[in-house]
Amino acid sequence: MCGIFAVLGCADCSQSQAQRARVLACSRRLRHRGPDWSGVYQHEGNFLAQQRLAVVSPLSGDQPLFNEDRTVVVVANGEIYNHKKIRKQFTGKHTFTTGSDCEVIIPLYEEYGENFVDMLDGVFAFVLYDTRNRTYMAARDAIGVNPLYIGWGGDGSVWFASEMKALNEDCVRFELFPPGHLYSSAAAGFRRWYNPAWFLEQVPSTPYDPLVLRAAFEKAVVKRLMTDVPFGVLLSGGLDSSLVASVTKRHLVETEAAKKFGTELHSFVVGLEGSPDLKAAREVADYLGTIHHEFHFTVQDGIDAIEEVIYHDETYDVTTIRASTPMFLMARKIKSLGVKMVLSGEGSDELLGGYLYFHFAPNKEEFHKETCRKVKALHQYDCLRANKDKDDDRVGAVWRVSRSPMPWHGAVAHVLLLFLRGVVRCHQRTCPCMCMCTCTCASERASH
């Protein structure tokens, strides 16, 4: 996770120094998102800045990123899981100067123009500026895992930021940048780049195959182990986080991080004294053999943290703040252990109908419609606390997978098409996914 900020098309270039100072001031409001490096780029009345948290290629991935002659520049907050494959595609055509996974955005743009975003497999928010024709574009990932906002200045300039707090004092209007969209200065507006079949909200007819479901889930977890820094897993003892932890434990030895920091997996849980999560997480951790860390907090600790949680989440939604507060407190503890990235199992309840009220769905059509609605709304609730309430500058424990690995667009198509037919008849004890983690407590716990 990083913080990006951009101001494009400032009208009065004679005030460029004052404008640059203001850009730097606004960008600093995002420093809690990226304490490892700050970079800024200026071309006439156009500015791009980034606050970096180094997760992939810590030594060479500083931003902004450029093409060979520095005529195309990009700032990005994201993880591009297929970046190695894309790099091979441009062997001999493009000279990569960093190890950043986000650098592949540049050659894709030069090769395909603005029609490349659907070639990126990952979670991202980026702004790209082309000095040759003075055009720019911005895009956000399919589900809206990584935050992005857009605003308009009184002089006609367009502003982009990872958080609203960088826009509210300078823009006459600002709003959420919609997931699955790109903004083009050439077209002077948005267009949707992500148009999956499940958006139609029609009940899928593809036969249910639990083995394909398992493969899609495992693939989604494994590709998110792309990191060069120490990481761990959040473990509540429920089914979703337990399965993520199990797959992570199995594949940890294959990661770059394991080669540098060892093959022991650290797991983390937080709860009030006597919380059932603490007991369940301990049982799963013992079963998997993780190095387990258990953090306790009091009601007063939570009350004391609410103001900060609201500041970082940028919402007053009661459910979001309530769920964010213990995660915020836990992230501080994780930071103190030197862990920069954690995986989580959240989000699967939305995708797979894991909440108890789904049991009362009158029919499969309404069940499917509700799962689609919940997935589409993830960016307004769950993604906020996943991507923001763990990014305090005193925390720095960045969360990488942001919910369950499944809600990302590479797996959504598989899961929504394959899961529904078996949802009524497939008990979680008999589902092949449960073979990944057969700890009894994990299979018996439900979400509310």
pLDDT tens across 329-370, in order?
A: 998 888 888 888 889 877 788 888 888 999 999 998 898 889
Q: Which residue has the higher pLDDT, 422 or 368?
A: 368
- Per-residue confidence (pLDDT) for residue 59, from 0 to 100: 62
Q: Is 410 helix (H, G, I), strand (E, B) or coil?
A: helix
Per the structure, how many domains does the chain have? 2
Please report the sign of the dihedral spanned by the C-alpha atoms of residue 220, residue 222, residue 227, residue 233: positive
Boundary residue ending a domain (178, 195, 212): 195
- Per-residue confidence (pLDDT) for residue 442, from 0 to 100: 64
Q: Is 237 annotated as a binding residue?
A: no
Q: Is 344 annotated as a binding residue?
A: yes
- Per-residue confidence (pLDDT) for residue 346, from 0 to 100: 72
Are the C-beta atoms of 397 and 390 separated by less than 8 Å? yes
Q: What CATH number is attached to the domain comprising 296?
A: 3.40.50.620
- Per-residue confidence (pLDDT) for residue 34, from 0 to 100: 77
Does 141 lie in the same domain as 15?
A: yes
Stretch among 186-190, 222-226, 410-414, 434-438 having the lowest mean pLDDT: 410-414
Does 187 lie in the same domain as 72?
A: yes
Q: With bands split at pLDDT 50, 70 and 90, how would you rate the model's confidence at 267?
A: very high
Instruction: Of 34-43, 94-103, 382-391, give the range with the top mean pLDDT.
Output: 94-103
- Per-residue confidence (pLDDT) for residue 6, from 0 to 100: 96
Q: With bands split at pLDDT 50, 70 and 90, how would you rate the model's confidence at 387?
A: low
Boundary residue ending a domain (195, 219, 250): 195
Look over the chain and give the mean of its residue pLDDT values, rounded to a whole number: 84
Does 260 lie in the same domain as 363?
A: yes
Contacts of 94 (CB under 8 A, 6+ apart): 67, 68, 106, 107, 110
Q: Which residue has the higher pLDDT, 69 or 444?
A: 69
Residue 212 has pLDDT above 90, yes or no: no
Does 325 lie in the same domain as 225?
A: yes
Rg of the chain over CA atoms, in angstroms? 22
Q: What is the 3-state secondary structure (H, E, C) of 337-394?
A: CCCCEEECCCCHHHHHCCEHHHHHCCCHHHHHHHHHHHHHCHHHCHHHHHHHCCCCCC
Q: Is 284 annotated as a binding residue?
A: no
Q: What CATH number is attached to the domain comprising 74?
A: 3.60.20.10
Type of residue numbered 67: N
Please report the sign of the dihedral spanned by the C-alpha atoms of residue 106, residue 110, residue 114, residue 115: negative
Does 231 lie in the same domain as 361?
A: yes
Q: With bands split at pLDDT 50, 70 and 90, how would you rate the model's confidence at 148?
A: very high
Are the C-beta atoms of 297 and 277 separated by less than 8 Å? no
Residue 424 has pLDDT above 70, yes or no: no
Does 429 lie in the same domain as 294?
A: yes
Residue 7 has pLDDT above 80, yes or no: yes
Does 81 lie in the same domain as 188?
A: yes
Domain that holds residue 100: 3-195
Q: What is the pLDDT of residues 59-101, one digit of tens each?
A: 666 789 999 999 999 999 989 999 999 999 999 999 999 889 9
Residue 286 has pLDDT above 50, yes or no: yes
Does 440 lie in the same domain as 316?
A: yes
- Per-residue confidence (pLDDT) for residue 279, from 0 to 100: 96
Q: With bands split at pLDDT 50, 70 and 90, how would you rate the model's confidence at 37?
A: confident
Stretch among 150-159, 252-261, 267-276, 415-424 having the lowest mean pLDDT: 415-424
Share of residues in the chain with pLDDT > 70 (%): 83
Q: With bands split at pLDDT 50, 70 and 90, how would you rate the model's confidence at 210?
A: confident
How confident is the model over 395-403, as a mean pLDDT?
Answer: 34
- Per-residue confidence (pLDDT) for residue 85, from 0 to 100: 96
Does 204 lie in the same domain as 186?
A: no
Q: Which residue has the higher pLDDT, 265 or 364?
A: 265
- Per-residue confidence (pLDDT) for residue 428, from 0 to 100: 41
Does 41 lie in the same domain as 136?
A: yes
Share of residues in the chain with pLDDT > 90 (%): 50
Does 329 lie in the same domain as 244?
A: yes
Q: Which residue has the higher pLDDT, 266 or 37?
A: 266
How confident is the model over 240-268, as a mean pLDDT?
Answer: 90
Does 289 lie in the same domain as 257?
A: yes
Residue 16 has pLDDT above 90, yes or no: no
Question: Can 102 be counted among the known catalytic residues?
Answer: no
Model pTM score: 0.86
Boundary residue ending a domain (195, 221, 243): 195
- Per-residue confidence (pLDDT) for residue 448, from 0 to 100: 60
Q: Which residue has the higher pLDDT, 112 or 203?
A: 112
The DSSP code for 98 is S
